[in-house]
Amino acid sequence: MHTTTEEVRAWIDADPDPTARAELTQLLARAAGEPGDGAAESARADLDNRFAGTLEFGTAGLRGALGAGPNRMNRAVVIKAAAGLSAYLTSRVGAGFTVVIGYDARYGSARFAQDTAAVVTAAGGRAMLLPGPLPTPVLAFAVRHLGTDAGVMVTASHNPPQDNGYKVYLGGRVVTDAGQGAQIVPPYDAEIAARIAAAGPANLVPRTETGWTVLGADVREAYLRRAASLIPARHTRDVRIVYTPMHGVGGATAVEALRRAGFTDVHVVAQQADPDPDFPTVAFPNPEEPGALNLALDMARAVDADVVLANDPDADRCSMAIPDRTVPGGWRQLTGDEIGALLGAQTGQAMALTGRGVMASSVVSSRLLAKVARSHGLEHRTTLTGFKWIARTEGLVFGYEEAIGYCVDPAAVRDKDGISAALRLAYLTAQLVNAGATFTASLDDLARRHGLHATSQLSVRVEDLSLIPAAMARLRAAGPTTLAGSPVVATTDLAEGSPDLPPTDGLLYLTAAEDRVIIRPSGTEPKLKCYLEVIVPVPDTGDVTATRRVAAARLERLRADVAAAVGL
């Protein structure tokens, strides 16, 4: 056993959670079996994994599987994280620093939030706890609305049921530029991580039993008012919406926001309406995953809906499906890039009078948004992946990433917000229905103006994490020279950084045909992700349908070549 008994016992002694102590004690007892004992070997392997290191605190905060031990999400790890954050805030603004804390309905979330409040209070800070499980956008809104120095959201977003996480936002007196209220980026993450490492054993971290504030309904009410205000008072609202919160915490807030904006013909998928940390009706609680919207699509067909809207479990992401008679089942789920282009065009039209503002999208998102922005007289910026980067764009009026994340109200929420995005999509649906138009026609119009931008993704999930850096090393040593029959004319190692982008682990390939491939390790899952995009001009005949077939065929060739190059 690589992990020593002494290491495990030392962690047990320092863990303030009796359930976690019992879990490790039982695992240690099973691991003491004779060589060749299958149960003992399994227990030893489990311990090695739990003690392989400390759950890393980075720009995504913390995220990992629930369980006892330093490489898991548990009360001891959270208490130390809260202590490190408190020490950092004390060093920046002194005693009396303020932190607002939110949490979702996953296993352990409420307890982790309360532990954070107890540590912050004991450290001389003022902790404000949201009154119950609420969406991540409400917490992100609260950081700016209340002017707090930091915010913590306990959630694992769309990860599997066995996971949980800990997002950190900085604002108030700590961050005062365009990133005020956004999630942390370097160097904040490293500075907080250093304070966490210095925090000492979890059982010695001071905690109070009382002293924090449990907020009332005011913050959620303010968020709802702000979200509803994004929709013009006078517009056609006669649309039928099917909505699912995917067993998460977004349902009640999203439906109320839609109601306040005038959208009352909303049909919620009953089987997925209430928060359930087991996510029983989906294999993976992410609206992007194949099959995740099946129940919603069944309802849409049954009620003759105009649109399907879906949030992920913490409601910071939003997906949609539209009627399309050309596909089996009569409904098509749009890609994150298609939704981003539609929302970008909507924003551009709304900004036409001012002609000022910046749109932003991540480097792995479609290049179409840059063209949409320019067509409306707006600027565009490309950022690293993640809203911690997108939200920091100076002058931002709209930002998105292809993983169905959209920021439509950056003045209020410096993060992706699946609820306000759903309202904007409901409004767009109403505009199209009122004009006798369709989403397909709108996408076709964008293709005629800017070329058809077709995107897809190849994700390779691995059990052995060492396979990912090995694959990246192979590609750096000898990457592809042709893709989809076109020579690679530019290879960019994103790890080297550029005047526009900080360094990040990724490779970008551009071909003579303007096809683009970006390969990067996922920041939150054990995956190597490959982002594919082809651009095909629409002929003078304006036949977008034929152009889509050409693009789809090219994407398939690109996918096959990238899969071969990656070699996993």
Task: Give the active site residues.
Answer: 157
Find out whether 75 and 202 touch, Cβ atoms under 8 Å.
Answer: yes
Tokens of 278: 């087991």
Q: Do 272 and 246 form a contact (C-beta atoms < 8 A)?
A: yes
CA distance 26 to 493: 47
205 neighbors 73 (Cβ within 8 angstroms): no
Tokens of 411: 């003045």
Compute how many other C-beta atoms are within 10 angstroms of the C-beta atom of residue 2.
10
Report which of 111, 99, 101, 109 is spatially closest to residue 16, judged by C-alpha positions: 111
- DSSP assignment of 196-224, as one string? HHTT--GGGS---SS--EE--SHHHHHHH
Contacts of 9 (CB under 8 A, 6+ apart): 28
**Cis peptide upstream of residue 187 (ω within 30 degrees of 0):** yes
Structure tokens at 152: 């913590």
Most distant CA pair in the chain, distance: 76
Q: Classify 364 as helix, strand or coil.
A: coil
**Rounded Cα distance, 318 and 137, in Å:** 12
Between β-strands 507-511 and 396-401, what pairing exists: parallel, antiparallel or unpaired?
Answer: unpaired
List beta partners, residue 519. Answer: 507, 530
Residue found under tokens 């490190």: 84
Strand partners, 359: 380, 398
SS3 (DSSP) at 376: coil
Instruction: Report the 10 Å Cβ neighbour count for 210.
Output: 7
Q: Where are the alpha helices (DSSP H) in 130-203?
A: 136-146, 188-197
Amino acid at 221: E
Q: What are phi and psi of 535, to 5 degrees?
A: -120, 120
Strands 516-521, 527-536: pairing is antiparallel
